[in-house]
Structure 1
């Protein structure tokens, strides 16, 4: 038989199989890989979203934790999975963008080995200072740092984390503020030292900051996002506080292995869109993390990844940071 005809028949058969798979999808449990440890904030959010998703697709949703290597272990596992829609990745802007700037070699390619499904949420961190720093808003903080060079330090959850990159962005946006970075193994230890006055400032999650602020141990000055953080809605954003161009948000999104058929991606996208519109879930996310649920089309998530890669590379190059 003519080779061209054989090729055409093979493609037709493949299309037929894929169409049948898409029509019946999903007909078995879906696994969502979370590249962070069990019990952490991302894991807890993923499990809550997974429960609602399960109700919509009428199939179990299994959360599997694969932490390590700056989310690369989990991302690589998904990238190497069968592209049938049953293994998905819950990644964040580090997974999809920042890692390309921080690491010279990655075990996965965020652009070519993963296929976007939908964004999940967007959120902000908050800027806090210890209670003895004589400032009450962002402008006063910036002026105080400028007036006290080389005497201020800030803590983060580690090198290359959003906490770190946000403060470095703030420094750059304000004439390269002279405040020293002290990286920690996680947000909790850094917050302890902020309360203990060994640090002067830090960006952190709103929940951990609100707990300390309520007891008068720290002062929250501003939130980093476009909107106010829902845990501390009384706190203005940095853009409301005299820095109109300063917006730095983290975001999470779902992707599948490259090669997953578009028909299955579209089915998943519709399922996540319905999931994220659930009012109980919207309220739970708001009160637990202060974030905003936000779905997108696969194309919109692709654009977001590409834009963030460009921004991340520019920022990381400016501050001279590399993690390998």
Structure 2
């Protein structure tokens, strides 16, 4: 009887311990934030600032884990294999969840099954820019120039095939029946240098990158994807102002988690990130310099965005006949 009583007591203690552990506040240990880019770039810089803000919100550590390569494939594959407990998350663009499954014939992860959307953190408008030597001073003039040069197509550049600097030009060409030639570069830096030098005739640039060159007159900004003119580039009109269909030249930075991460934890991560984004100091020091527009969506809204964007980007990729290999 004594032994039976001791056993019951032991089981009760174990059960209580399990309940206490289950109710332990999140996070109770450091969180790993995967960044699928090398240190120093815009996404990495943003992610590090976000990590600092989350540390303050959570009173817990946030460790950056850079996993560059393969257009976010390496980082996304690492996220997909992580334990779904909220202690491994990823800050990435739409490449991981939307573009890669459409561009690559084979991936080491299944975006729909392995990755859970947490929050769209920011949206980054892009500026369609041309060299200062271009005869086009407006987007309408650029379209007319491209249409008139069907036998000698306008050459535009991007930071890589299938990315946010490439696909919107496919949309522009489709909308206006243009013949354009794509020149893919290994990164935004070389593309920008050739745009400044007039070796290519157009490109899509982040607003922070474009601003100093537009103000100095080295390039001309023809249009920006935004609801209204940007404070940093008040001289560049929006597509709506011009009465021209918006080519959705924008990219996002978002948080994702491994599929199967409990909903309360996913919601808690999204809420903490939203608080960081709403901080005026964070906005002035981190968002404004890059031209990032804060969003801070909930998981459901991010999931809806993915579902809306997949058919849009799929159509562009099919029109461009784009397929990539690892």
SS in 2 for 1:231: coil
Q: Residues 224-303 of structure 1 correspond to what in structure 2 (within 5 A)?
A: 224-303=225-304
Q: Is the 8 A contact 2:168 2:247 kept in 1?
A: no
Deviations 1:82-136 (A, max 9, x none): 1111110112111110111101111112221011211101111111111111221
Q: Shift of the alpha carbon at 1:244?
A: 4.0
CA contact (8 A) 2:169 2:247 kept: no
How many residue pairs match? The answer is 310
Q: Which residue of the other structure, out of 164, 167, 171, is the alignment partner of 1:165?
A: 167
TM-score when normalising by structure 1: 0.90
Q: SS of 1:163's equivalent?
A: coil
1:168 Cα deviation after fit: 1.3
What does 1:28-47 correspond to in 2, within 5 Å? 28-47=29-48
Aligned pairs (5 A) from 1:48-87: 48-87=49-88
- Aligned residue in 1 for 2:96: 95
* Contact persistence 2:225–2:246 (CA under 8 A): no
Greater Cα radius of gyration, structure 1 or 2: 2
Q: 1:30 to 1:241 in 2, by over 3 A?
A: same
Asked whether the equivalents of residues 286 and 292 of structure 1 are also in contact (C-alpha less than 8 Å), the reply is yes
CA distance in 2, matches of 1:28, 1:166: 42
- Residues 154-205 of structure 1, C-alpha deviations (whole Å, 9 max, x = no match): 1111111110111111111111x12211111111111111111111111111
Matches within 5 A, 1:145-156: 145-149=146-150, 150-156=152-158
- The corresponding residue for 2:179 is 178
Unaligned stretches of 5+ in structure 2?
Answer: 1-13
User: Residue 124 of structure 1 corresponds to which residue in structure 2?
Assistant: 125
Instruction: Tell me the CA shift for residue 318 of structure 1.
Output: 1.6
For residues 273-314 of structure 1, give each alpha carbon's deviation from its aligned partner in whole angstroms, at most 9, with x where no partner exists.
Answer: 211111111223442111111111111111111221222212
- Matches of 1:135 and 1:215 in 2, distance apart? 17
Q: 1:297 to 1:287 in 2, by over 3 A?
A: closer
Deviates more, 1:277-286 or 1:38-47: 277-286
Measure the CA separation in 1 of the matches of 2:270 and 2:134: 47
The answer to whether structure 1 residue 189 and structure 2 residue 190 are counterparts is yes
Mean alpha-carbon deviation: is it higher for 188-197 or for 282-291? Answer: 282-291
Q: Do the aligned residues in 2 keep the contact of 1:120 with 1:251 (CA within 8 Å)?
A: yes
Deviations 1:13-46 (A, max 9, x none): 99x9588445421111111101011101100011
Give unmatched runs, 5+ long, in structure 1: 1-12
Matches of 2:311 and 2:78 in 1, distance apart? Answer: 25
Moved more, 265-274 or 41-50: 265-274
> What RMSD in Å do the two structures reach over aligned CA positions?
2.0
In the alignment, the residues of structure 2 paired with residue 247 and residue 166 of structure 1 have an alpha-carbon distance, to the nearest angstrom, of: 6
Which residue in the other structure is 2:318 paired with? Answer: 317
How far is 1:145 from its partner? 1.2
Asked if structure 2 preserves the Cα contact closer than 8 Å seen for 1:117 and 1:301, the reply is yes
Scaled by the length of structure 2, what TM-score is found? 0.89
